[in-house]
Amino acid sequence: MRIAEPVRAAWQAELSLDFAVQEGRTVLARRRHEGPLVVQKPFYPEGKEVCHAIVVHPPGGIAAGDELELRTAAGPGAHALLTTPGAAKWYRSAGSVARQDIGFDVDGVLEWLPQESIVFDGARADIRCEVELAAGARYIGWEILCLGRTGSGERFANGDLRIETRIARDGKPLWLERGRIEGGGRIMSSPAALAGRSVCATLIACADELNGALIAECRALPELAVTHLPGVLVARHLGDSSEDAKRLLTRLWRIVRPALIGREAVEPRIWTT
């Protein structure tokens, strides 16, 4: 006999952030939040021009029916780096879908480098990200997905994960990707898809400064597939370790960031705490 899940109230959470330049310093000029989605005090580990901010979801996990919305704007000349304090956990659902909707409006520079997302067996999740770039704006973002809690022997055998990423510059599409992973479905084992691996990671960089030498340097890294389109670099990794995936994407970021932004990579402090 199947035991019903306990009834719980779903979280509805919104966070809106605006970064702007004031007296040569990138500042968090405006913040607004409703529900359990907040941002910690900004940090400046690489000087006043770059603002590091940590987006926090205090409940620690995303369950059936939860809806999280993050909206961030980086104004002209502003440079913001956003990350998270730990893994996002997408819990099992008996029916309702949990959603995360991210929207970035970039005139300056924005980096979105969250820690991994762990999709529990039986989860039903919908993850969307939309990036609007102005002329000359630059963006680097990544996503590390862990399908099942493999450390405890769990696989993503049931459930449904939908992913959508849209990127446009001056209203013209640069990148559009939609995906659906059914727990235990063919895409998880197909050699043309996940090939039985439990971790898939993607880094996307958008800038006018992409060139052949940079692409060749990125392709020299092991265990990465790199695609170059006009104004867009997309790198992918398949494996079975979120730690390995993050280390690899960080190595790639250390190559891409100086070329696109003119700054050496400085890791957020939260990654080492």
- Distance, in Å, from the CA atom of 55 to the CA atom of 25, rounded to the nearest integer, reads 20
**Using 50, 70 and 90 to split pLDDT, how confident is the model at 200?**
very high
254: pLDDT strictly greater than 50: yes
CB 110 within 8 A of CB 104: yes
Rounded to the nearest angstrom, the gap between the alpha carbon of residue 114 and the centroid of all alpha carbons in its chain is 5
CB 86 within 8 A of CB 57: no
Q: Which residues pair with 205 in a beta bridge?
A: 140, 233
Burial class of residue 87 (count of CB atoms within 10 Å of its CB; 0-12, 13-18, 19+): middle
Global confidence as pTM: 0.94
Q: Considering only residues 172 and 1, tell me which one the structure prediction assigns the higher pLDDT.
A: 172
Q: In the 8-state DSSP scheme, what is residue 16?
A: E
Task: Give the pLDDT mean for 81-99.
Answer: 94
CA angle (247 as vertex; 140, 110 as ends), nearest 5? 15
